[in-house]
Structure 1
Amino acid sequence: MPLRNQKCAAGNNRYFGQVPQEILAMAASRKQRIFAPMARGRKHPFFEKIEVTGTAAKGKAVGRAPDGRVVFISGAVPGDTVSVQVFKKRKGHYEGRVTEILNPSPERIQPRCVHFGTCGGCKWQHMDYAAQLRFKQDEVVQNLVRIGKLDLPDIAPILPAPETYYYRNKMEFSFSDNRWLEPGEIASGEPVASRNALGLHIPGMWDKILDLQECHLQADPSNAIRLAVREYAESHGLAFFDTRKQEGLLRSLMLRNTASGQVMVLIQFYQDDASAREGLLDFLLDRFPQITSLFYTINRKGNDTLYDLDLICYHGTPYITEEMEGLAFRITPKSFYQTNSRQAYALYKKVRELAGLTGKERVYDLYTGLGTIAQFVARQAREVIGIEAVADAIEAARVNAAENGISNTRFFAGDMKELFTSEFLETHGRPDVVITDPPRDGMHKYVVAQLLEILPERIVYVSCNSATQARDLALMRDAYRVAHVQPVDMFPQTHHVENIVLLERRSHE
């Protein structure tokens, strides 16, 4: 029975949390870990009535224990009153999971997906979207103030996503021969017909995969392709990957799409079995003729990363194309492109606006990826220089610029901290404006130091992690003031939030 249709054993409130009562009898299973409430009096306490007051990092909610310590809670919504089983106790806080909803929050809603509560992909499906936006904005402000110690202007209201489901243009699924068992399967005691899975990792468990019946993050034909691949593999006896033993044929499946309906499929194989591989790939082409770009690779490494692998285009073009304001961007399997295409357009427009370009400026676009932002602002700049670590992405950026008829961009591949140096700047010119969109870890301290050395007039800092963004901004607060903050919701139903900050040199105050 889906978790969303369970009722609490101790009352009449509908259960929308993560630990329904039928799971509690399964803790003795040795085949997979079950987080169940412990009896009171044991090492970890059980709290019968906790008022949930807000949200915290990684999608968790927060309340106060009877002893005054903070409790970080999985499965709760601010405004709930809940019972909580603690599973981790620290000097200053507890971490726990909801076992019962005593009084649901008015902002608690019915999750859409049957996998909610097990899959970690959409931790906020049980929260009204307006509340999601409010808590994301609060997180940005708290990080900038608490971590960055920044004086902030009025924060612009977060930009909501036009689509709250089916908005992702990229999904990555893993194969496993030891899937996560559903509660009913464990409770029955019956032999399991198949342990194969094609889906997403159970949160915090690198070797456990949830076999997905449905996913509401990526539009069709994503679900259809995933289910068809799984069915074909089962019926033809193809070996699903064993992560622990590092053996099996099928390793991972990546699906990308564009707003215009182009579809890219990439399958990672562990074994180099040409007959089995070609059978599956030919099946996909026959079943899904709309596939624009079909890739495969043989990956015998200890991880699934693509950047050091040779990718073979089995059918179609070696890229798919996304369009924006008349610009076309070729997306290759290794390319970084914002995973929400429609909201990326809103984000790029805001970046261009905050850059304040007049046509006279030299702009540096750090962590440029495919050069999307660089080309998006190029018409308003004298020159744009893009830097990116992934060589394939830089090559695609150059091709994109040529295809788009843009002649005032230059792109360079290399590790940012090693390439963005004084020598590079002397050769290629110093920037008037810097746009930076680093990965979740933020900018390297050497990159920040270089920015403080050259002191461009404006810096537009785009981040998918406002905590590391705040850390970097704190290093620059003596030289720059925060002139504008614009949160952007790129990832509905999750706790993730994008944020844009405009920095202006203090010398001009």
Structure 2
Amino acid sequence: MSQIAPHRASNRSSRRKKKASAEAATSAAPAASVIAPILEVESLDMEARGVGRTVNEDGTPGKVIFVEGALPGERVTYLSYRRKPSFEQAEVVDVLRESVIRTKPQCQFFGTCGGCSMQHLDVRAQIAVKQRVLEDNLSHLAKLRPETVYRPIHGPSWGYRYRARLTVRHVAKKGGVLVGFHERKSSFIADMTSCEVLPPHVSAMLVPLRRLVEGLSIRERMPQIELAVGSTVTALVLRILEPINAADEQLLREFADAHNVQFWLQPQGPDSVAPFYPLDARLDYTLPEYNIRMPFKPTDFTQVNHQINRVLVGRALRLLAPSRGDRVLDLFCGIGNFTLPLARISKEVVGIEGSEVLTTRALANAAENGVAEHTSFACRNLFEVTADDMRALGHFDKFLIDPPREGALAVSKALAEIAQSGDGPLPKRIVYVSCNPSTLARDAGLLVHEAGYRLKGAGVVNMFPHTSHVESIALFERD
């Protein structure tokens, strides 16, 4: 019998279990229900919770139980913290029979910290779960099955997180400042001194950061630190609600020199972010296969996982397969992550982005990388784009679409309308990079069932190992 200690580590978890025990003791259920019941776990849901069913006294299937920390094939005891007529949400108490895909979490704070939910699951099994989530969404929401399931894109599963938002809080009961992620499903900050998914030099910086903030005059007026790691420098953006004084400035300079970081200050909204020290450091990431160096500000959107991003860009361009004579439209182009590599191998690439700041950055990046003559950029609200807007853009041979979690509903509807009216050009090939399988499935349904495309292939991209986040890539073609 294996006891799952990490799930007892958080104060929130203990409070929730006490509440669950009280509910059980006062409910009308039989007295035996106060004792942690046993469950056979059958599968995992999209949040990496074990799923099983109780059995009624007459042998018929009972409630669905979602158990955090349980894996398929396991026999566990659990304690419910939320009860509904048809399901319960619970936490595992003991594992009576372990799954072969269970592994020991590498992080000592797993189970307390809310940053990861799947460290107890073998990495290969994590990828398989995400692939199933992708295929289930396409099947159930869009009634689609890809003609080809692509090999998963994966890479290092530790030290990969080059972007993060760390919460800062002065907690007298803890004897000082906490810097880190929230506890699972809680507003409390995990008392963490390291993080296995952050780059090692950043993980090693957490304790010194706590000491730094403790020494600042504004330690109770600094709610968060934004982290962005570049090729040669790490940027830390301090969200400050009051100005820093001369002593604070000196402490920041000394810390920056000692840890090779660049401090930025954000006194108000995102537009107020400005470098503090050192002023000459520059953030960037590279796409070596295409000889691209991409400067960015720490508040710009960039992919969390630089290694996976390089592989993803290569996969996307190979699937799109542009020729020297092709015009390509890159929708939700950001700072040019796909646009600039495409410009190396296409006649012309037009990037459209909803943020003026990112559009300006993309223009500058195109000039810096010598591809300005093959690119142009425009700022448009792609969540409200119409068929007429798409027609006005002219003919493009191929599209690349990389939307946020909301997906590309308006774009997909516009293409469907053009296809049904027959009065406008449509690209023969679309590569769609998704960070939300449900919105990908929704848009895929429109592209296939209404716009006449075929779903040639789809596969997962393990951008966020040890989390339930599912990134994916799909290819659509039209005759």
| TM superposition score normalised by structure 1 | 0.83
Contact 2:216 2:248 in 1 (8 A): no
Q: What does 1:191-206 correspond to in 2, within 5 Å?
A: 192=173, 194=175, 196-205=177-186
Contact 1:385 1:411 in 2 (8 A): yes
Residues 34-78 of structure 1, C-alpha deviations (whole Å, 9 max, x = no match): 666516454486652111121102222211122423211111122
Please tell me whether residue 477 in structure 1 is matched to residue 460 in structure 2: no
Contact 1:19 1:36 in 2 (8 A): no
Tell me, in whole angstroms, the C-alpha distance in 2 between the residues paired with 1:354 and 1:237: 51
Structure 2 letter corresponding to 1:415 = N
Do the aligned partners of residues 25 and 411 (structure 1) sit closer, same or farther apart at CA in structure 2, a change above 3 Å counting? closer
Q: Which residue of 2 aligns with 1:467?
A: 438
Q: Which residue of 2 aligns with 1:13?
A: 2
Please tell me whether residue 370 in structure 1 is matched to residue 338 in structure 2: no
SS of the aligned residue for 2:367 comes to helix
C-alpha deviation, 1:346, in angstroms: 1.0
SS of the aligned residue for 1:468 comes to helix
C-alpha deviation, 1:157, in angstroms: 2.8
Contact 1:459 1:502 in 2 (8 A): yes
Q: Which residue of 1 aligns with 2:158?
A: 165
Between the two proteins, the alignment pairs up a number of residues equal to 455
Tell me, in whole angstroms, the C-alpha distance in 2 between the residues paired with 1:420 and 1:287: 53
Q: Which residue of 2 aligns with 1:124?
A: 118
Please tell me whether residue 141 in structure 1 is matched to residue 104 in structure 2: no
C-alpha deviation, 1:475, in angstroms: 2.1
SS of the aligned residue for 1:346 comes to helix
- Per mean C-alpha deviation after superposition, the further-off stretch among 219-228 and 433-442 is 219-228
The structure 2 residue matched to 1:342, chosen from 300, 307, 315, is 307
Structure 2 residue runs without a partner (length 5+): 419-424
Tell me, in whole angstroms, the C-alpha distance in 1 between the residues paired with 2:458 and 2:242: 49
Do the aligned partners of residues 253 and 280 (structure 1) sit closer, same or farther apart at CA in structure 2, a change above 3 Å counting? farther
SS of the aligned residue for 2:352 comes to strand
Q: Which residue of 1 aligns with 2:210?
A: 230
C-alpha deviation, 1:159, in angstroms: 2.3
C-alpha deviation, 1:503, in angstroms: 0.9
Structure 1 letter corresponding to 2:179 = L
Q: Which residue of 2 aligns with 1:283?
A: 254
Residues 98-156 of structure 1, C-alpha deviations (whole Å, 9 max, x = no match): 11111111111111111110111111111111211111111111111011211332312
Do the aligned partners of residues 102 and 239 (structure 1) sit closer, same or farther apart at CA in structure 2, a change above 3 Å counting? farther
Tell me, in whole angstroms, the C-alpha distance in 2 between the residues paired with 1:23 and 1:193: 13
Contact 2:131 2:459 in 1 (8 A): no
Do the aligned partners of residues 496 and 275 (structure 1) sit closer, same or farther apart at CA in structure 2, a change above 3 Å counting? same
Do the aligned partners of residues 450 and 340 (structure 1) sit closer, same or farther apart at CA in structure 2, a change above 3 Å counting? same
SS of the aligned residue for 1:417 comes to coil
Tell me, in whole angstroms, the C-alpha distance in 2 between the residues paired with 1:135 and 1:368: 29
C-alpha deviation, 1:257, in angstroms: 1.4
Do the aligned partners of residues 318 and 419 (structure 1) sit closer, same or farther apart at CA in structure 2, a change above 3 Å counting? farther
C-alpha deviation, 1:418, in angstroms: 4.4
Q: Which residue of 2 aligns with 1:448?
A: 412
Q: Which residue of 2 aligns with 1:38?
A: 21
Residues 199-236 of structure 1, C-alpha deviations (whole Å, 9 max, x = no match): 1122333x3211321101121321233322210222x2
Q: What does 1:57-456 correspond to in 2, within 5 Å?
A: 57-67=46-56, 68=61, 69-161=63-155, 163-178=156-171, 192=173, 194=175, 196-205=177-186, 207-234=187-214, 236=215, 238-240=217-219, 248-258=220-230, 260-275=231-246, 277-288=248-259, 290-291=260-261, 293-299=262-268, 307=270, 309-314=271-276, 315-317=278-280, 319-324=282-287, 325=289, 326-406=291-371, 407-418=373-384, 422-423=388-389, 425-426=391-392, 428-443=393-408, 445-452=409-416, 453=418, 454-456=425-427
Do the aligned partners of residues 85 and 14 (structure 1) sit closer, same or farther apart at CA in structure 2, a change above 3 Å counting? closer
Tell me, in whole angstroms, the C-alpha distance in 2 between the residues paired with 1:455 and 1:25: 53
SS of the aligned residue for 1:462 comes to strand
Contact 1:79 1:107 in 2 (8 A): no
SS of the aligned residue for 1:174 comes to strand
SS of the aligned residue for 1:281 comes to helix
Q: Which residue of 1 aligns with 2:421?
A: none
Do the aligned partners of residues 352 and 483 (structure 1) sit closer, same or farther apart at CA in structure 2, a change above 3 Å counting? same
| TM superposition score normalised by structure 2 | 0.88
Please tell me whether residue 496 in structure 1 is matched to residue 469 in structure 2: yes
C-alpha deviation, 1:386, in angstroms: 0.8
Structure 2 letter corresponding to 1:156 = Y
Do the aligned partners of residues 24 and 461 (structure 1) sit closer, same or farther apart at CA in structure 2, a change above 3 Å counting? closer
Contact 1:347 1:488 in 2 (8 A): yes
Instruction: Give percent identity, aligned residues only.
Output: 27
Tell me, in whole angstroms, the C-alpha distance in 2 between the residues paired with 1:411 and 1:211: 45
Tell me, in whole angstroms, the C-alpha distance in 2 between the residues paired with 1:313 and 1:24: 37
Higher helix share: 2
Tell me, in whole angstroms, the C-alpha distance in 1 between the residues paired with 2:312 and 2:43: 27
C-alpha deviation, 1:283, in angstroms: 2.8
CA RMSD of aligned residues (A): 2.5
SS of the aligned residue for 1:120 comes to coil
C-alpha deviation, 1:239, in angstroms: 4.5
